[in-house]
Amino acid sequence: MYAALMALAWGAYVWRRRHVDRRSRAALQASIEAGLAEPPSLHPVVDPGRCLGSASCIAACPEGALGMVGGKAALINASACIGHGACAAACPLDAIKLVFGTERRGIEIPRLTPDFETNVPGLFIAGELGGMGLIRKAAEQGRQAMEAIRKRRGATAPEYDVIIVGCGPAGLSAGLAAMEHKLRYLLLEQEPSLGGAVFHYPRHKVAMTAPVKLALVGMMRFTDVRKEKLLEFWQGVVKRTGLQIRFGECMENISREGEGFVVSTARGSHRARSVLLAMGRRGTPRKLGVPGEDSPQVVYRLIDPAQYDGQAVLVVGGGDSALEAAIALAERPGTQVTLSYRSAAFSRVKARNREGLAALQAAGRVTVELESNVAAVEPGRVRLKAREGEKTLRSDAVIVCTGGLLPIGLLQKAGVAFDTHHGG
């Protein structure tokens, strides 16, 4: 009887492992066919020699990015991975490391000292741009970089001791540390709200899985906190500490001036002895380059679909962010949605987004204009170059989801050295 029970248990175990393996292989194949097998940023790499297939990493990943292939953990849904590191922390044998880039697609990371200073003296980089996408470590880097910047403070200085560019986890932490050290600081954020890359996570996405220490605040004891709660906490920190942030001000250039720097934005030029770049890798939104693009009806992020209820909205782009925006808008009452994409078909998008858009298109909730480009944005309407010729659409708002321009060229111009990482 005991032998029979053991055989039954073993059979159930083997069946389940084979079932998980088949499902994981199918998910991996679907990612490959959709062109989504290359991770966008920080991601796990599994050492098969150390992995024993305990599946603890799979259970720890809240995004469903990992699966079991051939009895070993594997990244099967690379596009879903946001690199928060829960998988690496859960592995009992340290078989997972987090890396940038792959053999096929390298990612350029700036060369930094242990104090997060670049090869350009006085110019520091912390957070995702410097190769650290984990929220807790990005915040710690921002705090430590400010310690090094504090030591550079001299008897005389330009307008500011430090200019901090970006108000994500690293920038927020650095700003608080600057206040703690009584530095004259300027904190710039190109978006209308704080949060950096976290601000653009999908709703309810798990954003943080470990505590982190903030200057003036102490230890943030969050585990498995979701985007909304984390942003609410950060907003409370800003209000409570009086941290000053200039929203909607994007860095356009950075250059040397004597022993300090000049940071130029659309609003003017600012001078400081040191600069800390705490931007993410999303970059500055890519513009369309058409007449009327600077009008108030054009935006580059969908923040709240409800604000477009009853309006006619044009979404521009063909990636997941564009499809997700069109789907979210189409589910709102009275919203007329048109999606414009320059190519003949969508590629490199998640299957659920492709299927969701197709269902809404079939129901008449979304109009899809493939092989089309925006020709001009005019008050209350948009001129579109489509396959059948130019047409004019009613449009109360235009949401451009065409990606971002990374600041790598700008930083290289300033003399910052980069190394290309291929997953090592």
* Candidates 3.90.120.10, 3.50.50.60, 3.90.226.10, 3.40.50.1970; CATH matching 298-403: 3.50.50.60
The pLDDT mean for the chain works out to 85
Q: Return the pLDDT at 20.
A: 79
Threshold 0.85, pTM exceeds: no
* Candidates 3.50.50.60, 3.60.130.10, 3.30.70.330, 3.10.450.40; CATH matching 108-283+406-421: 3.50.50.60
Nearest partner of 209 among 195, 225, 190, 193, judged by Cα = 225
What's the mean pLDDT in 24-36? 80
pLDDT in tens, 51-76: 988 888 888 887 788 889 988 999 98
Contacts by 179-185, CB closer than 8 A, 24 or more apart = 179/215, 179/216, 179/241, 179/242, 179/243, 180/215, 180/216, 181/146, 181/147, 181/150, 183/146, 183/149, 183/150, 183/153, 184/157, 184/159, 184/160, 185/160, 185/161, 185/244
Out of 79-88, 185-194, 236-245, 405-414, least confident range? 79-88
Out of 211-215, 319-323, 392-396, least confident range? 211-215
Assigned CATH class of 2-99: alpha beta
More confident residue, 261 or 98: 261
State the span(s) of the chain assigned CATH 3.50.50.60.
108-283+406-421, 298-403
The overall longest dimension of the chain from CA atoms, in Å, is: 86
Q: Return the pLDDT at 118.
A: 94
Name every residue whose Cβ is closer than 8 Å to that of residue 403 and which is 6 or more positions away in sequence.
Answer: 283, 285, 286, 317, 319
Per-residue confidence band for 198, with pLDDT thresholds at 50, 70 and 90: low
Q: Return the pLDDT at 21.
A: 84
> What is the Cα–Cα distance from 380 to 396, expressed in whole angstroms?
5
The DSSP bridge partners found for residue 205 are: none
Under 8 Å between Cβ of 85 and 43: no
Q: Return the pLDDT at 84.
A: 67
pLDDT in tens, 250-299: 898 999 998 899 999 988 999 999 999 998 776 677 888 899 988 889 98
Out of 176-190, 208-222, 267-281, least confident range? 208-222
Determine the residue type at 342: R
